[in-house]
Structure 1
Amino acid sequence: MARKPKHRPETNKHLNRFKYTQDQAIDKPFNWSQMVRLMKYIKPYTKNLLPISIISMLISTIVRLVVPVLIGKVAIDIAIANKDTSLLTKLVIGIAVLYLLSYIGNALRIKYVNILGQNVIYDLRRHLFSHVQRLSHKFFDSRSAGSILVRIMNDINSLQELFTNGIINLLMDVVMLTGIIIILLVLSPKLALAIMVIMPIMFYISTKLRKNIRRSWQQVRIQQSKLNSHLNESIQGIRITQSFSQERENTEFFNGVNSDNFNSWRIATKKSAMFRPFVEMSNAVGTVILVAYGAYLILQQDIQVGTFVSFAFFLGMFWEPISRLGQMYNQLLMAMAASERIFEFLDEQPNVEEKMNAVDMKNMKGHIEFDRVQFAYDEKRIALHEISLEMKQGETVALVGHTGSGKSTIANLISRFYDPTKGTVKIDGIDLKDAAIDSIRQNISVVLQDTFIFSGTILENIRFGRPDAADEEVIEAAKVVGADDFIKRLKNGYDTEVEERGSILSAGERQLLSFARALLADPKILILDEATASIDTETEMKIQEALKRLLNGRTAIIIAHRLSTIREADTIFVLEHGKILESGSHKELMQMKGEYFDLVKSQFQMLDAI
């Protein structure tokens, strides 16, 4: 017997770590308009795959409806009653041919329905991923990578059964149930109505259960999101976990999240399973009614034996689609819970919007202006207080200040990852709100302190910012930033697979690759955000020499705590709490003996102490 995971109450206090994911149950009534929206993904296949699937389904369903009538009314009431062996032989052959036709129809249905479903899932996942990639940074600030992963993978996977089998099976069951009811009413209205007396009760029960079941499946999705978030966080932070010997605490926390996930599945499946016993009970009641009332009608000569036999066939078939419709309804509830979460992301609009007639800035020169710019990440946290500054074309500008002073915020506004709350940010005299986003970012390269290296070769990683670059250009960019030396020492050189996040490389080597990537893109504006923090002093000196040549003709923004890297900057802006305290060259600021002077002095005192 499988052990039930033990939920440790003390771990619950940690679950507030997941509040930022914004994964909450969406408490809405079952919305058919949303289901219609989901069905629109089938539209591209309505001229080929869908018609073939429906036609093959109709063939097999019609055969199943015809055969019981042939057996009861023709075989028993006519052929056997009149001892007509010739008719009976023809009937047997005819039924065999019909079953062969049904087999072919079923085979075609299964094949094309699966092809249809997989295509729809592919399109939906592609659409969601493409949409998420276009969302603003603010969207990702409030959600973990794990919760986003759940939407794109798990939630869409939960729709797979709906599209591969559910829709066509739903049509098939509706057609079959409708056909059975019509045939039964034609054969014997009295017996048909007697058998179907239980249906209103079933409908009432299913109506009562549906909201509760749907809510349970929403909770399953939420718990899966939390579980994935924790797994993603744990794997990425495994070195920190091990360095602080927190494996046990992390495991206990995982047990708590895993238990919540287990319990949500247990509750949802328990509620979903309640429907089938009611269907089986209805089948039993229907059988009792058929035997008792059917026998009475035969004795009263209201129906023939063949009609009774046809009813017996149809009774088994009658509750089968009802049972499947109950399961299908549970499937619809699961799909609804998943689709609500998917459409929540698809309905999310970028905070940074592009105007219809946006200006193309492909000929950007790199003259930057901030005019009374204020920016707040939220109402309580203002990052910039109406600052005004100018960065002339081709200048190297440095931004210095303590953590949280607003340096990276200025860089984010230049790349238009965010829009200012007040004021305007201009490049070449054009308000960035009026410019095409891609044309801005294609002219800007950003190198971060925590650089990201993708799975693939070193050549592919450097070429990421400019996919059409020739191998020779990639190698030249690596040589300029001093990355060529360590790349050549690798087993396969530029064709070396660097694995996820560049795990085979040191922090300094990853940073050199990011420099090469940025420089290969040939930007008009280059932003270095603590880009040399992970590089040793010797490597930094090589890069400083390379940057003197590479920054020529480009506007460069350097953000650095290590003040030795910004001495050569044309202008240095000193920030504190989102305000500009001082500005000028290194020499000018040192003569002022203000905040910048104190920062430089404190750093040299630290070095002397070492």
Structure 2
Amino acid sequence: MEQELDISRQKKDLFRLLSFLKKYKVLLFFAFVFLFLATACEMYGPILVKRFLDDHLMKQYFPKDTILMLFSVYVVLMIGKIVLSYLQLLMFQQIAFKVVQDIRMKVYEHVHSLAFSFFDKTPIGSIVSRITNDTEAIKDFYVSVLATFIQQIVFLVGIIIAMYSLDVKLASICLGLVFIVYFVILTYRKKSFPFFMETRGQLSNLNAKLNEHLQGMSIIQAFNQQKRLQSEFEHVNESHYQAGVKTIRLDSLFLRPATDLIYTIGIMFVLSFFGVASFSNPVEIGTVYAFVSYLERFFEPITQMMMKLSLLQQAVVSSARVFDLMDEEQKAPVQEGSNSPKIVEGSIDFRNVSFAYDGVHNVIHDLSFSVLPGQSVAFVGHTGSGKSTIMNLLLRFYDVKNGEIRIDAQKLSTFQESELRSNIGLVLQDPYLFVGDIKGNISMYNDTISEMDMKEAAELVRANEFIEKLPNGYDEAVVERGSTLSSGQRQLITFARTIAAKPTILILDEATANIDSETEEAIQTALTAMRKGRTTVIIAHRLSTIQDVDCIYVLHKGRIVESGNHQELLAKQGLYYNMYLLQNKGSLQLAE
């Protein structure tokens, strides 16, 4: 039953691959026209040779005009075949590359629409493998397999027609060989499917491990884990090798050897047929030549197709993995309803919100709080208390199932994504920079942000002080993740990036964590300026950075257990008081 499902899935994915060709039906039409004409030229060649052998060479009859005409037609046909073959191959290849480009872009675009919950559970290396390795295997399907199969099938049909024009009985016997080849192909597909699936899966694991190890290289070297992880990688690599060996063994049995055996049987049949026929009737040498020539050409496309079966199976298996990703239903939350409210004032309301990442175990419980326009609030608590979850829900990276969140008295789910992203600014603890330049990383290549806005934002957060000292200033190149800049410099750039967008609501996830002590005071001044006129939500670990906010919410196991300003919470001598004492090493320093 499982094997039947596999075959059914293969057929479904194969037809889906072919459906991408609809967009290029005009190019396909001309490619087929050139293919048919090239095949006709190829098929008529042996007919001309047969006429020369039987009508002229065997009879020693060589009229100059006739021989010259035969020679000229043959040369024209061969040149025509070469030109037409080039044109049809060029068109098929062009279509193939365009289709693969379309598939790769569809997958990439779809990945951008997936929910954070999908990325929480799926290794990044596995996703990269599907977008790169698996689409590359699909490219082989269009570039090598599909073009070869179309060409060779048309070629095969032309040969069969030509063979029937010479001898119906013998052509029928040779046609029977096609069914033997079909049986071999069918058997190969059934046997090879699980092997190819295992190989692609192991390649995905290989990429996932490689991605994880490269990203954590500093930790690996710091903790001297090279040998352990090399051994781990070797184990995954060996599994991939063993899966590949299974495929190679099957290919070695079913592909070229099987075709050569069938070809040998075919030659034996043809020669035996003419040998027996020669006892009773004379056999024309031209007919024997033409038939043997056609039989050889008959197996040429079969051999070509058999040798491409491995690529076909790889492509079908890879397409299943790519289509599974394209069909992934864990989509990022989308707008509900037809209204499109705007964020103007920036008030925030959480009403009895509970949330679980796995849908079962809540990380926040019945959470309710309000933030008035222009207010600054902070959330503090031990690791796992739910601080970052509040940020993720407010940005609508995840949808709320229990309770509701409102901005400006409108349900969060009714806002368009573009409205939320343009009006909620985010600064994360780990600053992320893109390859490009500093100017592009601040403006995020947004045409609505002028150069003046960008520089004003940089000045506000004091980023201009180091940027202007760089050799190329704002045009200074930024490498992957901005690794040539200090962590503090990267953070300052993300500060400027957020301010340049002029958000109504500001979310700061321990934004000063990577700033040195000397810079922190200046940044705190900048943050105060940033918060003016903006509703600000701060996820805080260092309590010294939030003493001037309007309200502090203390979280414990996903619940608000205390709230108030800095002085009020110290006076309660509760959880916040103990956290403050711990961070200040037992010395209570009340802010004035």
Tell me the TM-score normalised to structure 1 length: 0.91
The residue number in structure 2 matching 1:539 is 519
CA distance in 2, matches of 1:27, 1:81: 57
CA distance in 2, matches of 1:144, 1:586: 41
CA distance in 2, matches of 1:240, 1:558: 29
The residue number in structure 2 matching 1:299 is 279
Consecutive unaligned residues in structure 2, runs of 5 or more: none
How far does residue 352 in structure 1 lie from its aligned partner after superposition? 3.4
| Aligned match for 1:106, one of 67, 72, 85 | 85
Larger displacement relative to structure 2 (299-308 or 590-599): 299-308
How far does residue 93 in structure 1 lie from its aligned partner after superposition? 1.1
Decide whether the 8 Å contact of 1:372 with 1:388 is kept in 2: yes
1:75 matched to 2:52: yes
The residue number in structure 2 matching 1:352 is 332
| Aligned match for 1:230, one of 201, 209, 226 | 209
**CA shift digits 1:191-237 (9 cap, x unpaired):** 22333444433332322221221222222221111111122122211
Matches for 1:581-600 after TM superposition, within 5 Å: 581-600=561-580
| Aligned match for 1:388, one of 368, 383, 394 | 368
How far does residue 358 in structure 1 lie from its aligned partner after superposition? 4.4
1:456 matched to 2:436: yes
How far does residue 581 in structure 1 lie from its aligned partner after superposition? 0.8
**Partner letter of residue 545 of structure 1?**
T
Larger displacement relative to structure 2 (270-279 or 576-585): 270-279
The residue number in structure 2 matching 1:191 is 170
Query: In structure 2, do the counterparts of structure 1 residues 552 and 232 end up closer, same or farther at CA, with 3 Å as the change threshold?
Result: same
1:523 matched to 2:523: no
Decide whether the 8 Å contact of 2:343 with 2:408 is kept in 1: no
Matches for 1:558-573 after TM superposition, within 5 Å: 558-573=538-553
**Partner letter of residue 294 of structure 1?**
F
Local SS of the residue matching 1:491:
coil
How far does residue 106 in structure 1 lie from its aligned partner after superposition? 1.4
How far does residue 302 in structure 1 lie from its aligned partner after superposition? 7.8
1:219 matched to 2:178: no
Local SS of the residue matching 2:257:
helix
Local SS of the residue matching 1:281:
helix
How far does residue 252 in structure 1 lie from its aligned partner after superposition? 1.8
Matches for 1:53-132 after TM superposition, within 5 Å: 53-72=31-50, 74-82=51-59, 83-85=61-63, 86-132=65-111
Decide whether the 8 Å contact of 1:298 with 1:305 is kept in 2: no
Larger displacement relative to structure 2 (193-202 or 313-322): 193-202
Decide whether the 8 Å contact of 1:443 with 1:524 is kept in 2: yes
**CA shift digits 1:89-124 (9 cap, x unpaired):** 311110100011011111212322222222222221
1:408 matched to 2:385: no
Local SS of the residue matching 2:379:
strand
CA distance in 2, matches of 1:351, 1:59: 48
CA distance in 2, matches of 1:182, 1:321: 15
Local SS of the residue matching 1:388:
strand
1:556 matched to 2:536: yes
Decide whether the 8 Å contact of 2:113 with 2:331 is kept in 1: no
CA distance in 2, matches of 1:548, 1:84: 103
How far does residue 607 in structure 1 lie from its aligned partner after superposition? 7.0
Matches for 1:78-477 after TM superposition, within 5 Å: 78-82=55-59, 83-85=61-63, 86-274=65-253, 275-301=255-281, 304-355=284-335, 357-464=337-444, 466-477=446-457
**Partner letter of residue 14 of structure 2?**
M
CA distance in 1, matches of 2:114, 2:537: 25
**Partner letter of residue 117 of structure 2?**
K
Matches for 1:482-521 after TM superposition, within 5 Å: 482-521=462-501
Larger displacement relative to structure 2 (494-503 or 270-279): 270-279
**Partner letter of residue 292 of structure 1?**
S
Decide whether the 8 Å contact of 2:336 with 2:414 is kept in 1: no
How far does residue 375 in structure 1 lie from its aligned partner after superposition? 0.7
How far does residue 278 in structure 1 lie from its aligned partner after superposition? 0.4
Larger displacement relative to structure 2 (269-278 or 279-288): 269-278
Query: In structure 2, do the counterparts of structure 1 residues 193 and 131 end up closer, same or farther at CA, with 3 Å as the change threshold?
Result: same
CA distance in 1, matches of 2:230, 2:214: 12
CA distance in 2, matches of 1:184, 1:589: 96
Local SS of the residue matching 1:124:
helix
The residue number in structure 2 matching 1:7 is none
How far does residue 447 in structure 1 lie from its aligned partner after superposition? 0.9
Give the RMSD, CA atoms, in angstroms: 2.1
Larger displacement relative to structure 2 (568-577 or 457-466): 457-466
Larger displacement relative to structure 2 (142-151 or 585-594): 585-594
Decide whether the 8 Å contact of 2:160 with 2:171 is kept in 1: yes
Count of aligned residue pairs for this structure pair: 582
Local SS of the residue matching 1:214:
helix
Identity of aligned residues (%): 34
How far does residue 308 in structure 1 lie from its aligned partner after superposition? 1.7
Decide whether the 8 Å contact of 1:459 with 1:494 is kept in 2: yes
How far does residue 379 in structure 1 lie from its aligned partner after superposition? 4.1
Larger displacement relative to structure 2 (27-36 or 136-145): 27-36
**Partner letter of residue 427 of structure 2?**
V
The residue number in structure 2 matching 1:22 is none
Local SS of the residue matching 1:377:
coil
The residue number in structure 2 matching 1:603 is 583
How far does residue 444 in structure 1 lie from its aligned partner after superposition? 1.0
Larger displacement relative to structure 2 (389-398 or 434-443): 434-443
CA distance in 1, matches of 2:393, 2:384: 15
Decide whether the 8 Å contact of 2:443 with 2:449 is kept in 1: yes
Larger displacement relative to structure 2 (302-311 or 129-138): 302-311
Decide whether the 8 Å contact of 1:574 with 1:583 is kept in 2: yes
**CA shift digits 1:360-413 (9 cap, x unpaired):** 344442111111111111145321112111111111110110111111101001
How far does residue 516 in structure 1 lie from its aligned partner after superposition? 0.8
**Partner letter of residue 362 of structure 2?**
I
Decide whether the 8 Å contact of 2:89 with 2:147 is kept in 1: no
How far does residue 30 in structure 1 lie from its aligned partner after superposition? 4.5
How far does residue 356 in structure 1 lie from its aligned partner after superposition? 6.7
Query: In structure 2, do the counterparts of structure 1 residues 28 and 188 end up closer, same or farther at CA, with 3 Å as the change threshold?
Result: closer
How far does residue 584 in structure 1 lie from its aligned partner after superposition? 1.8
**Partner letter of residue 76 of structure 1?**
L
**Partner letter of residue 421 of structure 1?**
K
Decide whether the 8 Å contact of 1:184 with 1:192 is kept in 2: yes
Consecutive unaligned residues in structure 1, runs of 5 or more: 1-25
Decide whether the 8 Å contact of 2:425 with 2:507 is kept in 1: yes
CA distance in 2, matches of 1:28, 1:537: 64
**CA shift digits 1:258-302 (9 cap, x unpaired):** 222222222223323322210011111111111111222233328
The residue number in structure 2 matching 1:19 is none
Tell me the TM-score normalised to structure 2 length: 0.94
